[in-house]
């Protein structure tokens, strides 16, 4: 009980601290010290990179005049997926932004190859089209529309590869029945640069395909 009270107290106070436009100054650390923290803590680096990727994705792609009504789902909402929700040609689309696993990145001939993790952050119950409830970290086919994989780990540039949810590989895990596997995405996918199907560098033809499929 005491620990719970202390945690709630700390969370309340952290959330209610007024931050300036210079968060490092607020925290009393230098750019070098912050960089050292990020470099020495892979989990912190991965988390920050994920948010930077979302920022770069929105800046580089969602500023297009074809896109409007951009929103972001609360990170703690386990029932709603999507790093960005957008309106394109008067239809809503849900986009997941993912990153490469840096320890899988390698050069193969004239291409870069790596793996990306496409799954939920925790084990949760999902409802399949059959009505069956499954507890899984797999994302569900149709749970979002488009995935955007940031390829920063390949070249140090903010390039993205896009794929439709319906084109992503399905899980092969023996934890699930054959029917369940049809509706659950594999937790990892291989991505290359230059990209190979189902991944492409331009999301708009994919969005147009999704429009035609609706």
**pTM for this structure?**
0.83
Shortest CA distance to 165 belongs to which of 93, 101, 114? 93
Task: Pick the more confident residue, 214 or 157.
Answer: 157
Hey, is 79 helix, strand or coil?
coil
On the question of pLDDT at 46 being above 90, the answer is no
pLDDT band at 16 (very low <50, low <70, confident <90, very high): low
Taking 50 as the threshold, does the pLDDT of residue 42 lie above it?
yes
Residue 39 has pLDDT above 80, yes or no: yes
Q: Which position has the token pair 């009980």? A: 1
* Average pLDDT across the chain, whole number: 88
Tokens of 124: 């949760």
**For the chain, which residues make up each domain, given as ranges?**
26-213
CB 204, CB 66: distance < 8 Å: yes
Flag whether pLDDT at 37 surpasses 70. yes
The confidence band for 77, taking pLDDT boundaries of 50, 70 and 90, is: low
Name, in order, each residue with C-beta under 8 angstroms of 4's C-beta and a sequence gap of 6 or more.
none
* Higher pLDDT among residues 80 and 170, named by residue: 170
pLDDT attached to residue 8: 45
Bridge partners of residue 96, in order along the sequence: 147
pLDDT band at 7, cuts 50/70/90? very low
């Amino acid at each position: 009980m005491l620990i719970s009270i202390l945690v709630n107290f700390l969370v309340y106070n952290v959330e209610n601290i007024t931050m300036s436009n210079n968060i490092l100054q607020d925290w009393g650390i230098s750019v070098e010290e912050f960089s050292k923290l990020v470099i020495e803590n892979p989990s912190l680096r991965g988390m920050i990179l994920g948010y930077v990727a979302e920022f770069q994705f929105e800046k580089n792609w969602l500023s297009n005049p074809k896109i409007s009504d951009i929103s972001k789902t609360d990170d703690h909402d386990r029932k709603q997926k999507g790093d960005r929700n957008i309106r394109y040609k008067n239809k809503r689309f849900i986009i997941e932004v993912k990153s490469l696993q840096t320890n899988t990145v390698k050069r193969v001939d004239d291409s870069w190859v790596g793996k990306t993790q496409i799954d939920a952050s925790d084990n949760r119950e999902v409802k399949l089209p059959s009505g069956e409830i499954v507890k899984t970290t797999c994302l569900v086919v149709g749970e979002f529309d488009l995935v955007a994989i940031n390829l920063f780990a390949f070249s140090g540039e903010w390039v993205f590869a896009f794929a439709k949810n319906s084109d992503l590989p399905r899980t092969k895990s023996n934890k699930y029945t054959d029917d369940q596997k049809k509706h659950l995405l594999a937790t990892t996918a291989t991505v290359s640069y230059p990209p190979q199907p189902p991944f492409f560098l331009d999301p708009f033809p994919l969005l147009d395909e999704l429009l035609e499929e609706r």
